[in-house]
Amino acid sequence: GLLTLVHGAMERDTAASTGLTLVDRDQHYNLYELLRKHEGNRLAAMVDYLMQVVEHQELQGRLGLFGMMDAGEAYTLFNQVQDRLEGTTLVGEFEDSLFAQARETKDDGEIDELVEAGRLTSLVVRETRDFLSGHQARNEVLVRSDGEALTIGDVKRFIRARIAGYGMHEDHGCIFSQGRDAGVPHNAGDPAMPMRLGQSIVFDIFPLVPSGYFHDLTRTWSLGYATDEVLEAWEQTKTIFDRVMAAVALGVPCRDLQNMTCDFYEALGHPTARSRPGTHEGYVHSLGHGIGLDIHEEPSLSHREGNTTVLMPGHVFSVEPGLYYPDRGFGVRIEDSVAFRESGALINLTDVPYDLVVPVR
């Protein structure tokens, strides 16, 4: 049958653009009146509101619950609703939900949005590299024109300005970590830390374009020069990155790509999330994840039990091997995002050089 959207009055124009049958919540189920009826008890008012929606829309059978809400509030609210329902059962899905399945593959229109997100994000990363390279070094530290040390905070301000300049925005900030912090995959970086020569920098950026689609890419840099240890880890990571990218094809099990990466690193003596679950050193995570209207979607390039997904048209995902040794003062990661169009053609959404060393003045 026809789909119905119950919406707030302030969102009526956006609601109208969906083409769905509309019900104005504020006209049909006035929450102020419901609060007055229940003497200010918000929980009772919300239960009453939802019960009216179920009755008026003649909802029966299994009624799926989707969306975002505080877990405790949702538990309390929907338990009370269920207690009052007759002939209708509230159901939720823990994995492979309806919307997760719908978002796992993208059509070419969505992929066009992801191509644009990749193009703009790549420009930001290129410009950030040029920004760093344009600074002079003094006593192994980059300095600003006023003679003060350039800090991670300064670099992040530049990044935010360029993201905004291209009409994008950040939902989650970015990762720009150096030295020991680069050895912890999701350490965002210390804003007060000066930019030092010869230390690994993990720059992981994941902004979204106005249509809501994300891009995700990571580069590892070292200002001026790289130590032998960082260079070796980077070369190893670039080698397996290239091998995985060459192996990406329709019909390939996602799990196989992660196992291929673990095999490579383990053969070189590095611990992995497979050989040493919970390790803080070596290769500590899965190979990649889906990207779309959220930064983490299906498919998952993980070796976890039960992961039977194979690559198919419409999949958009990251490829991001890395090595992390915080106690030795470094981490490296290389990440591109790729997509299979509806035709099955594979495209790389990321366009940034992989060079490790960033020359400085």
Residue by residue, DSSP assigns 224-257 as: S---HHHHHHHHHHHHHHHHHHHH--TT-BHHHH
In this prediction the pTM is 0.93
The encoded tokens of residue 35 equal 């609060």
pLDDT in tens, 294-309: 999 999 999 999 999 9
pLDDT in tens, 97-145: 888 999 999 999 999 999 999 999 999 999 999 999 999 999 999 999 9
Reduced to 3 states (helix: H, G, I; strand: E, B; else coil), residue 21 is strand
Can you list the residues of the chain whose pLDDT is less than 70? Answer: 1
Q: Cβ distance 65 to 90 under 8 Å? A: yes
SS (H, E, C) 256-275: HHHHHHHHHHHHCCCCECCC
The encoded tokens of residue 189 equal 């970086």
Closest CA relative to residue 168, chosen from 134, 223, 117, 110: 117
Assess whether 155 and 132 both reside in one domain: yes
97 found inside a domain: no
> Given this model, what pLDDT does residue 347 score?
99
Assess whether 212 and 305 both reside in one domain: yes
Question: What is the phi-psi region of residue 325: left when phi exceeds 0, alpha when psi lies from -120 to 50, beta otherwise?
Answer: beta
Which single residue is written with the structure tokens 């992801």?
Answer: 114
From residue 202, alpha-carbon distances to 136, 233, 244 in Å are: 21, 13, 20
Length of the chain: 361
98 found inside a domain: no
From residue 260, alpha-carbon distances to 38, 108, 175, 265, 321 in Å are: 60, 29, 26, 9, 11
> Given this model, what pLDDT does residue 1 score?
59
> Given this model, what pLDDT does residue 280 score?
98
Assess whether 163 and 228 both reside in one domain: yes
Provide the 10 A C-beta neighbour count for residue 306.
8
- Domain ends where: 33, 67, 92? 92
Assess whether 213 and 319 both reside in one domain: yes
> Given this model, what pLDDT does residue 131 score?
99
> Given this model, what pLDDT does residue 287 score?
99
99 found inside a domain: no
Assess whether 87 and 116 both reside in one domain: no
> Given this model, what pLDDT does residue 7 score?
96
Instruction: Determine the distance from the C-alpha atom of residue 356 to the mean position of all C-alpha atoms in its chain, rounded to a whole number.
Output: 24
Q: How many domains does the chain have?
A: 2
Assess whether 204 and 56 both reside in one domain: no
Domain that holds residue 334: 106-358
Assess whether 197 and 119 both reside in one domain: yes
Strand pairing report for 336-340 and 316-319: antiparallel
Question: What is the phi-psi region of residue 267: left when phi exceeds 0, alpha when psi lies from -120 to 50, beta otherwise?
Answer: alpha
250 found inside a domain: yes
- Burial environment of residue 39 by CB neighbours within 10 A (0 to 12, 13 to 18, 19 or more): exposed
Phi, psi at 220, each rounded to 5°: -110, 130
115 found inside a domain: yes
Element (H, E) at 131: helix 108-133
Residues 6+ apart with CB under 8 A from 70: none
CATH number (domain holding residue 271): 3.90.230.10
> Given this model, what pLDDT does residue 96 score?
81
Assess whether 247 and 204 both reside in one domain: yes
